[in-house]
């Protein structure tokens, strides 16, 4: 599969602050690629370089084979951008906002009129197309920005925190749309919602201090951290009295007592039968496998401190 994005030793500094530090990444065409990282990790700087809004200090960034330093116009023809801020023109109606964007892309009027009709219908905004953005809800604004980014049929879509501030229904609507276009274009998604990344992305890169610190599918990332399976065992009585028996087992990694529940990390899942044997006769109410979340991976890699 060819690459939509390749960066090699990409570096950007703001004074003494290193925003990107010899950053290397390859994004396959047609994938949904998530960029995760705490505030100030370098995600926005990376997006701004890839969308030609900013120049790197050194290193190379190729978008669909075009160098961001010399082929900005060619790259901008191929990309659609949903920025963090809606950046809609409040003095133009929704339709006029889309028309302006189409003209900036040099689309012929006949083609863009039809495409705008399609997108407004798809996004559920056709009835409100002649209203000004100020009268829209947060979800409608976001859908309009997504429509604008898709108007010229980009090969690459950058979604910079596309669902921040949206209610669950609107968030689901954006997710559904992203899933529906997956495969037809490459999607680069930055988000603070780890659930969103887990739901949508084929591959995820975790960035911190301008460096790539982990890369893989959500499952691969989770497997990398867990090392073993984590089970929650709920007893009818206080868990502490059963914990002693479990602590003696060699295959128990960590053990934690939370009231009536004992959380054990097993070095391998086969160890579960030994645990059950050790609990022979105990009043066990429930045993559940606790799936490690992406959030745990994220926190373990980037730390818990506020940025």
Residue closest to 157 by CA, chosen among 142, 165, 147:
147
Q: Report the residue number, 96 or 131, with the smaller CB distance to other proteins.
A: 96
SS3 286: strand
Contact status: 134 vs other proteins (CB under 8 A): no
Distance CA 297, CA 181 (A): 28
Q: Give SS3 for 217.
A: coil
Q: Does 92 bind other proteins (CB under 8 A)?
A: yes
Report whether 204 contacts 225 (CB < 8 A): no
Q: Does 81 bind other proteins (CB under 8 A)?
A: yes
Among 37, 38, 83, 218, binds other proteins (CB under 8 A): 83
**Sites for other proteins among residues 190-249 (CB under 8 A):** none
Q: Check residue 269 for interaction with other proteins (CB under 8 A).
A: no
Check residue 17 for interaction with other proteins (CB under 8 A). Answer: no
Question: Could you say which of 12, 43, 76, 292 contacts other proteins (CB under 8 A)?
Answer: 76
Q: Is 87 in the site for other proteins (CB under 8 A)?
A: yes
Rounded to a whole number of angstroms, the minimum distance from the CB of residue 51 to other proteins is 5
Toward other proteins, which CB reaches closer, 103 or 179? 103
Residue in 209, 159, 204, 232 with CA at minimum distance from that of residue 295? 204
Parallel, antiparallel, or unpaired: how do β-strands 32-36 and 186-190 relate?
A: parallel
Distance, CA of 177 to CA of 167 (rounded, Å): 16
> Which one, 53 or 255, has the nearer CB to other proteins?
53
Out of 91, 109, 227, 283, name the contact with other proteins by CB under 8 A.
91
* 8 A C-beta contact, residue 83 and residue 73: no
Cβ atoms within 10 Å of 96's Cβ, excluding its own: 15
In the complex, minimum distance from the CB of residue 287 to other proteins, in angstroms, rounded to a whole number: 52
Q: Which of 245, 232, 226 is nearest to 296 (CA)?
A: 226
- Tell me whether residue 101 or residue 143 sits nearer to other proteins (CB atom): 101
Query: Which token pair is 213?
Result: 């610190």
With contacts defined by CB under 8 A, name the span among 1-9, 90-98, 117-125, 170-178 that binds other proteins: 90-98
Sheet holding 186-190, edge to edge: 79-82, 156-160, 186-190, 32-36, 203-208, 211-216
Nearest approach, Cβ of residue 206 and other proteins (Å)? 25
Minimum CB–partner distance for residue 269 and other proteins (Å): 48
Question: Shortest Cβ distance from residue 87 to other proteins (Å)?
Answer: 4
The two structure tokens encoding residue 90? 């409040």
Q: Tell me which of 9, 67, 90, 183 binds other proteins, using CB under 8 A.
A: 90
Residue 77 CB, nearest distance to other proteins (Å)?
5
Contact call for residues 80 and 133 (beta carbons, < 8 A): no
CA distance 26 to 1: 11
The binder of other proteins chosen from 85, 134, 176, 304 (CB under 8 A): 85
Binding stretches for other proteins (CB under 8 A) = 51-55, 73-74, 76-77, 79, 81, 83, 85-92, 96, 100-101, 103-106, 148
């Amino acid at each position: 599969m060819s690459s939509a994005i390749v960066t090699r030793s990409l570096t950007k500094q703001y004074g003494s602050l290193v925003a990107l530090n010899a950053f290397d990444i390859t994004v396959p065409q047609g994938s949904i690629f998530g960029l995760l990282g705490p505030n100030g990790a370098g995600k926005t700087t990376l997006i701004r370089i890839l969308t030609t809004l900013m120049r790197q200090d050194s290193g190379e960034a190729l978008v669909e084979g075009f160098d961001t330093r010399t082929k900005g116009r060619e790259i901008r023809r191929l990309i659609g951008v949903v920025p963090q801020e809606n950046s809609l023109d409040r003095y133009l109606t929704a339709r006029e906002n889309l028309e302006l964007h189409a003209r900036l892309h040099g689309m012929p009027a006949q083609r863009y009129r039809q495409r705008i009709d399609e997108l407004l219908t798809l996004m559920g905004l056709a009835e409100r197309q002649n209203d000004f953005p100020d009268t829209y809800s947060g979800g409608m604004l976001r859908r309009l920005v997504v429509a604008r980014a898709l108007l010229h049929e980009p090969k690459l879509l950058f979604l910079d925190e596309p669902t921040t501030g949206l209610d669950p229904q609107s968030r689901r609507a954006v997710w559904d749309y992203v899933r529906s276009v997956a495969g037809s274009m490459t999607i680069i998604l930055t988000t603070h919602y780890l659930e969103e990344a887990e739901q949508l992305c084929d591959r995820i890169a975790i960035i911190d201090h301008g460096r790539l610190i982990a890369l893989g599918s959500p499952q691969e990332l989770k497997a990398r951290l867990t090392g073993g399976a984590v089970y929650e065992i709920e007893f009818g009585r206080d868990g502490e009295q059963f914990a002693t028996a479990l602590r003696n087992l060699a295959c128990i990694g960590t053990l934690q007592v939370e009231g009536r529940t004992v959380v054990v990390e097993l070095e391998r899942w086969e160890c579960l039968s030994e645990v059950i044997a050790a609990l022979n006769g105990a009043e066990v109410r429930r045993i559940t496998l606790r799936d490690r979340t992406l959030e745990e991976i994220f926190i373990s890699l980037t730390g818990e401190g506020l940025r």
